[in-house]
Structure 1
Amino acid sequence: MPMRFRRQRDPEFVFVVTFGRSGSTLVQGLLNTMPRTLVRGENGFFLGGFFAGTKAATAFATRHAKHKPGKASSAFYGVRALTPERFAKHVRALSIDVLLGAQSRRRFDRIGFKEVLWHEIPAADTHAFFDWFDLVFPNAKYVLNTRKVDDALGSGFWQRRDPGHAVAATARVQEIQAFLRDTRPERCFRTDYEVITGPDRAASDAQLRGLAEFVTGACGDDLLAELRATLSVGHGPAPFGKSRTREAEWSVTAPTVDPVDPATGPASE
């Protein structure tokens, strides 16, 4: 009797949409603190290239559909196979493999990445890109991370770049965030760097709890404590994610929790 293999269900997907020096690596750390969640760092926005390839290939197929591509004698034989759905299926499989790396898929219910290059999506392609993104990552969730733009632009990251480009890039990301809120409101959650790391303990806790509930569906007191502990860990190449003296200001000692290494995933199963 032939063996039957059950097809492994795809994980859920979560992506951090933001601009550089917004505290996105801290948000990445918070997400990796959550159970059965793996959120990788920046990857050069390689998916932008796959979108461009899909767009070009499907436009080509449409343009030459009139040339009898079903016949072996046609110069465009087989061009009908260039469909968005087929591209999406394989880009999804590749993305899952890349994001998991050496990790077992069985360890995670949700995976994704944070990226700061969303501004590279041309304005004219915004609708088309996210329609395609939905094909690749059905029901994807978006964490829209924000920080005061002037503070972000004051960092060394942006100061080494053309000022006009910096302003345009951050403004473009804000446009994309607004687009996602307007078109996919139930799949978006806003995080504010100033609130998460600010002195108002209740506001910070509310946002941390809301983020965990949005991503995982629940947030008990133990998970909230772990998220608070993550705030005390520096994140990024030039860490500013530490809460510095926040825990002291709050007069609360967070429990000792081992920081989560995104390369190995969270310890919780």
Structure 2
Amino acid sequence: MTRAAITKPPLPTRIATKLRRWQSRLARVPAGAGPERWLFIVTYGRSGSTILQKLLGSITGHYLAGENHNSLHGVFAAWRDATILKAKYGWGHEGIDHPWHGADVADPDGYARAMVAAFVANILRPPRGTRVAGFKEIRYLTEDLREYLLFIDRFFAPAVFVINVRSVDAVAQSAWWKDADKQELAANIARFEAITDALVAEFPDRFIKIDYARWTSDPETLRPVYAMLDARFDATQIAETLSVRLEHMRG
């Protein structure tokens, strides 16, 4: 089989790209350093999360990345498996001929801390000078949502979780969900809200819920979010940001 030819961009373009990458590395937080606080927007598709990302990411000292295709969930799943390994087989009495030999020395939390550090250094990569860092993600309509968010809360402390919701009818009408089973979507969103409502009630110091319909029509409803982040609230600036239609929503 003949390999397809790869067409490289012009030399000046390649040089400029490498220069930008080098400058980006220099501008990022060094390994081992971290922000004072973490921020996570927890939601689902077509809930207005990108404009919320823009609002909260524009706060001085904040770096709020967009979606990472749920990359962090794999870290959670690996930690969960290692935790089961330790709890079920890590009793220290298995000989070298035992299939679970060595399980007693496993360190699930150390494993998680190392993976979280790798995620921050290689996926999130907040710039230098960042006080609050995090990301928004829409892939949270899962049955393990509570356990996953508590994992993030544990290994990214201190953190703030902004739970963003929107009317099921409005969400279901968007092109994003055109091929989805609407009853299943409604059930998944209902489960999402039940789980996150419980977390907001249980941990009101770091979990806060907002509704798209309310904060887009009345920016004042975002004031508690800014207060939780110790950030200056400017209703006029927020209203101006909300008035600009996002590029991915055009057409």
Q: How far has the Cα of 1:235 moved from its partner?
A: 2.8
2:119 pairs with one of 69, 86, 95: 95
1:94-173 correspondence runs (5 A) = 94-101=118-125, 103-104=126-127, 106-120=128-142, 122=143, 125-173=144-192
Question: What residue in structure 1 maps to residue 12 of structure 2?
Answer: none
1:35 pairs with one of 36, 50, 60: 60
TM-score (norm 1): 0.72
- Asked whether the equivalents of residues 33 and 230 of structure 1 are also in contact (C-alpha less than 8 Å), the reply is no
1:9-20 correspondence runs (5 A) = 9-20=34-45
Which letter maps to 1:29?
K
- Asked whether the equivalents of residues 146 and 195 of structure 2 are also in contact (C-alpha less than 8 Å), the reply is no
**Structure 1: which 5+ runs fail to align?**
1-6, 199-203, 241-269
Give the distance between the partners of 2:106 and 2:247, measured in 1 at CA: 40
Which letter maps to 1:116?
I
1:151-230 correspondence runs (5 A) = 151-198=170-217, 204-215=218-229, 217-220=230-233, 223-230=234-241
Give the distance between the partners of 2:101 and 2:245, measured in 1 at CA: 55
Aligned residues: 222
SS at match of 1:118: coil
Question: What residue in structure 2 maps to residue 234 of structure 1?
Answer: 245
Give the distance between the partners of 2:137 and 2:45, measured in 1 at CA: 8
Give the distance between the partners of 2:90 and 2:216, measured in 1 at CA: 55
| Structure 1 pair 81–148 and aligned structure 2 pair: CA distance change class (3 A) | same
**Structure 2: which 5+ runs fail to align?**
1-31
Give the distance between the partners of 2:47 and 2:86, measured in 1 at CA: 41
Q: Of the two structures, which has the highest relative contact order with CA contacts closer than 8 Å and spacing of 6 or more?
A: 1
Question: What residue in structure 2 maps to residue 201 of structure 1?
Answer: none
Give the distance between the partners of 1:8 and 1:73, measured in 2 at CA: 43
- Asked whether the equivalents of residues 88 and 135 of structure 1 are also in contact (C-alpha less than 8 Å), the reply is no
- Asked whether the equivalents of residues 67 and 76 of structure 1 are also in contact (C-alpha less than 8 Å), the reply is no
Give the distance between the partners of 1:130 and 1:100, measured in 2 at CA: 17
| Structure 1 pair 62–192 and aligned structure 2 pair: CA distance change class (3 A) | closer
1:54 pairs with one of 71, 79, 97: 79
- Computed over aligned residues only, the root mean square deviation of the Cα atoms, in angstroms, reads 2.8
Which letter maps to 2:232?
C
SS at match of 2:249: coil
Give the distance between the partners of 2:224 and 2:180, measured in 1 at CA: 34
Q: How far has the Cα of 1:25 moved from its partner?
A: 0.9
